[in-house]
Amino acid sequence: MATAARETRLLPPPLPLATLIGRELRAAGSERPTLRYGHAGFAKRGEDYFLVKPDCLRVPGDPSSAFSVFAVFDGHNGVSAAVYSKEHLLEHVISALPPDIGRDDWLQALPRALVAGFVKADIDFQRKGEVSGTTATLVVIDGFTVTVASVGDSRCILDTQGGELQLLTVDHRLEENAEERERVTASGGEVGRLNLFGGQEVGPLRCWPGGLCLSRSIGDTDVGEFIVPIPHVKQVKLSNAGGRLIIASDGIWDALSNEAAAKACRGLPAELAAKLVVKQALKTSGLKDDTTCVVVDIIPSDHLTSPQLSPKKNQNKLKSLFRRRSHSSVGKLGGKSASIGSVEELFEEGSAMLEERLGRNLSLKAASPPFRCAICQVDQEPFEGLMTDNGDGYCSSPYAPWGGPHLCLDCRKKKDAMEGKRSSRSTACR
Ligand SMILES: [Zn+2]
């Protein structure tokens, strides 16, 4: 009771929702952390967007089911894909989650729903016929469990109480990601540098057609379909000491290492921390690109100050996730979670193959009417829209070796296109 009394004294008058959540949780005997967050940014081209949604509810009307979402979107070739993703990506993810499931099941279903939501967002945006694209780094925080889904090169790093630094995303950049170069090439893309007149090669590795440096994004209708929207997803559980997340666009990461960004703001409240990271990046490299930084502190509720991330404990070991892991060892950590220091690793999967990401024959809404597409959640009557091979050898057929859940015609086409089997914009199957 001493804790509750101290909180009452120290806290400013809380929001009604926060009060309710606190009461519910204390009644349930579970500890939930408090979030403090801040944002800062400088625009060069005005194509960076961010999302802060601290008061989402898993169960409508039930404040004990609260979770929070933070995201950074770095657009290119215009802002429309970034704006679309900021406005709609989260709702596509939520719609792919079964309603009426408990918190543990919800968290377990989240990685799959993130994949479905990202692909749905990409399909929907491409239908608009606009050509821009965007990175998307979406962070869902429920208690001490943090789930990050990302395409492109906007990163999320985790700085823990123990001073351990972890990269929770993978950079989908052709220049630095050999696995992605192999995938794009195998799917029919060409990877190379820009050729100047006279044959001189300049700049980073790009994918042709299109000339994009990224291998995954949302949007980008005008580049090959092998630039896929399938996110790398990582889910971790922090110790009850909490930690700090820094989510930022490449304007930050091109200027600062993960360590430098974390170090630039340790011990400071989130709002100030975000400003200092941006300031440090600009000091290092000048304003070469849009820079956006969101800092989120996950603070144990009995410890309502910023995490005491003492610089003295700064013996950071960066856990780079670039290392190649065989598919059998990636993801599906399931019950036997791996522990990295104070952070428990619950799930990680980065494959661009939908079958590996959506589960085998496992509908996201298994109990729902006959055939619900696992990506766009459209219900279909039995056999309606099931694909047939029209003889050109490119279309999926009901007999194709697809072991995943039901997909509607459009989503099957998208899947095939992403795997380089055909262009989803081709009319061959219509
Ligand atoms: Zn569909």
Range of the domain at 391: 361-430
pLDDT digits (tens, 9 = 90+) for 105-123: 999 999 999 999 999 999 9
pLDDT of residue 163: 76
- Cα–ligand 1 centroid distance for 126 (angstroms): 14
In a domain, 198, yes or no: no
In a domain, 210, yes or no: no
What is the arithmetic mean of pLDDT over 304-324? Answer: 41
Instruction: Please determine, for residue 302, whether its predicted confidence score (pLDDT) is greater than 80.
Output: no
* Domain-ending residue, one of 352, 383, 404: 352
Residue type, 61: G
In a domain, 6, yes or no: no
Whether 264 and 140 share a structural domain: yes
DSSP assignment of 311-359, as one string?
GGG-----B-S-S---TTTSS--TTS-EEETTEEEEEEE--S-HHHHH-
Whether 342 and 367 share a structural domain: no
Whether 234 and 313 share a structural domain: yes
Terminal CA-CA length for the chain: 67
Whether 382 and 255 share a structural domain: no
- Cα–ligand 1 centroid distance for 354 (angstroms): 13
pLDDT band at 382 (very low <50, low <70, confident <90, very high): low
What is the arithmetic mean of pLDDT over 191-195? Answer: 92
With residue 28 as reference, give the H or E element that holds it.
helix 16-28
Whether 251 and 366 share a structural domain: no
Which tokens in the block code for residue 133? 């694209």
* Domain-ending residue, one of 319, 352, 385: 352
pLDDT of residue 165: 95
- Cα–ligand 1 centroid distance for 93 (angstroms): 14
* Domain-ending residue, one of 332, 352, 372: 352
pTM for this prediction:
0.82
What's the number of domains the chain is made of?
A: 2
- Cα–ligand 1 centroid distance for 372 (angstroms): 8
Of all residues in the chain, what percent are helix, strand and coil, respectively (each to 5)? 30, 25, 45
pLDDT digits (tens, 9 = 90+) for 24-47: 554 444 578 999 999 999 999 999
pLDDT of residue 314: 37
Token pair 């060409």 is at which residue?
A: 190
- Cα–ligand 1 centroid distance for 360 (angstroms): 16
In a domain, 427, yes or no: yes
Report d(CA 188, CA 78) in Å as an integer. Answer: 26
- Cα–ligand 1 centroid distance for 169 (angstroms): 27
With residue 410 as reference, give the H or E element that holds it.
helix 409-418
Pair 43, 306: CB distance under 8 Å = no
What is the arithmetic mean of pLDDT over 159-174? Answer: 92
Cα dihedral 171, 173, 178, 181 sign: positive
Report d(CA 369, CA 380) in Å as an integer. Answer: 8
Whether 253 and 396 share a structural domain: no
- Cα–ligand 1 centroid distance for 358 (angstroms): 13
pLDDT band at 231 (very low <50, low <70, confident <90, very high): very high
In a domain, 88, yes or no: yes
pLDDT of residue 15: 56
